[in-house]
């Protein structure tokens, strides 16, 4: 890796330019694992390298959205034209996840790095694009990962951190490297694993329309069983997520499913009321309502769930 990163010496000025020292930085991710949706954390294993020409030492790097568990194998190299160092790192990072589309969600995992000593007027990061062109997307079990994207930002802190040598009310800015990886799991298998028990519970509720309206015990029994199945499915699904102030796709589908089960029980109550009068016309009406419901309820349910799933 050292030889590759030094293969582009022309990208580093032979003499320090006026202004901040340019430090070329690159990051190659080996692996991402231990993604915890509930804690919004993940572990990344990667190599990071720095290449520069000047007196400022950029090797005191800090990771703003996580902490390193490992920083080993420093590989310093110095030539008349440039200085170089690389590290093998492993750390736990966190980001803000958006769960609105769960379980068909997608997120952006980030690794944010700054210099720990010098502000951006003294040291400025530059993406080492020549040595990042061939990077491939990392792997993460159960997810589809895109290739890493890199960005350099001047991050402004609205404080002098209490430094007595700084003017009052002054702000400080540091050059920051942001590595972003988009992950998604638009998978039919994940979708079915999440909702299979729920869909079966709703289908059981709709079986009540096959039974005669006067068969009270079995007709209401399947509805009650469906409610317990749907509630159990929601508990299992939400146990993998933190508490959130909004509804996810999974929440919306579960709530709508419970509403449809309630409507099926309500329809059973109306049908039972019709047949209790022993009126032939009302009995035929109840039977007709059951036949219509046997097709209308499943079709309506499937249409709304499909709309929730694919329209956003």
* pLDDT score at 240: 84
* pLDDT score at 17: 54
Which of 5-9, 274-278, 301-305 shows the lowest per-residue confidence on average (mean pLDDT)?
Answer: 5-9
252: pLDDT strictly greater than 60:
yes
Give the mean pLDDT of 18-35: 92
Question: Helices 280-310 & 249-276, crossing angle to 10 degrees?
Answer: 180
Confidence of residue 6 (pLDDT cuts 50, 70, 90): very low
- Alpha carbon of residue 100 to chain centroid: 10
* pLDDT score at 7: 45
If one counts every other C-beta atom within 10 angstroms of the C-beta of residue 193, the result is 11
253: pLDDT strictly greater than 50:
yes
CA distance 245 to 185: 23
* pLDDT score at 24: 96
134: pLDDT strictly greater than 90:
no
Mind giving me the DSSP string for 49-102? EEEE-SS-----EEETTEEEEEEE----EE-SS-EEEEEEEEEEEE-----TTT
13: pLDDT strictly greater than 60:
no
Average pLDDT value for the chain: 89
| Per-residue model confidence as pLDDT tens digits over 159-172 | 777 777 777 667 78
| Start-end of H helices in 75-208 | 188-206
Element (H, E) at 33: strand 21-36
CA distance 221 to 140: 44
Give the mean pLDDT of 233-246: 91
* pLDDT score at 280: 87
Domains for the chain: give ranges and CATH numbers: 2-184 (2.70.170.10), 188-310 (1.20.58.390)
Assessment of whether the complete model's pTM goes beyond 0.85: no
Q: Give the torsion sign (CA, 137, 142, 144, 148).
A: negative
């Amino acid at each position: 890796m050292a030889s590759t990163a030094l293969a582009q010496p022309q990208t580093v000025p032979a003499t320090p330019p006026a202004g901040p020292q340019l430090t070329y930085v690159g990051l190659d991710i080996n692996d991402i694992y231990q993604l915890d949706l509930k804690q919004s954390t993940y572990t990344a294993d990667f190599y990071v390298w720095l290449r520069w020409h000047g007196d400022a030492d950029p090797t005191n790097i800090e990771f703003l959205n996580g902490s390193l568990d490992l920083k080993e194998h420093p590989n310093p190299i110095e030539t008349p034209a440039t200085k170089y160092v690389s590290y093998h790192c492993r750390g736990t990072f966190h980001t803000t996840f958006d769960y609105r589309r769960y379980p068909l969600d997608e997120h952006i995992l980030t690794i944010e790095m700054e210099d720990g000593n010098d502000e951006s007027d003294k040291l400025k990061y530059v993406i080492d694009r020549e040595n990042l062109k061939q990077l491939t997307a990392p792997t993460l079990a159960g997810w589809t990962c895109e290739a890493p994207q890199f960005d350099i930002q001047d991050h402004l802190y609205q404080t002098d951190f209490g430094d007595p040598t700084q003017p009052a009310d002054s702000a400080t800015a540091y050059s920051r490297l942001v590595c972003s990886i988009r992950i998604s799991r638009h998978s039919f298998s994940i979708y079915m694993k999440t909702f299979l028990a729920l869909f079966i519970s709703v289908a059981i509720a709709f079986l009540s329309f096959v039974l005669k309206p006067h068969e009270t015990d079995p007709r209401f029994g399947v509805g009650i069983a469906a409610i317990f199945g749907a509630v159990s499915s929601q508990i299992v699904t939400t146990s993998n997520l933190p508490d959130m102030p909004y509804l996810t796709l999974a929440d919306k589908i579960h709530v709508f499913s419970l509403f449809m089960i309630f409507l099926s029980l309500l329809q059973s109550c109306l049908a039972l009321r019709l047949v209790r009068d022993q009126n032939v016309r009302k009995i035929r009406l109840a039977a007709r309502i059951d036949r219509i419901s046997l097709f209308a309820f499943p079709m309506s349910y499937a249409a709304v769930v499909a709309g929730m799933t694919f329209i956003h």
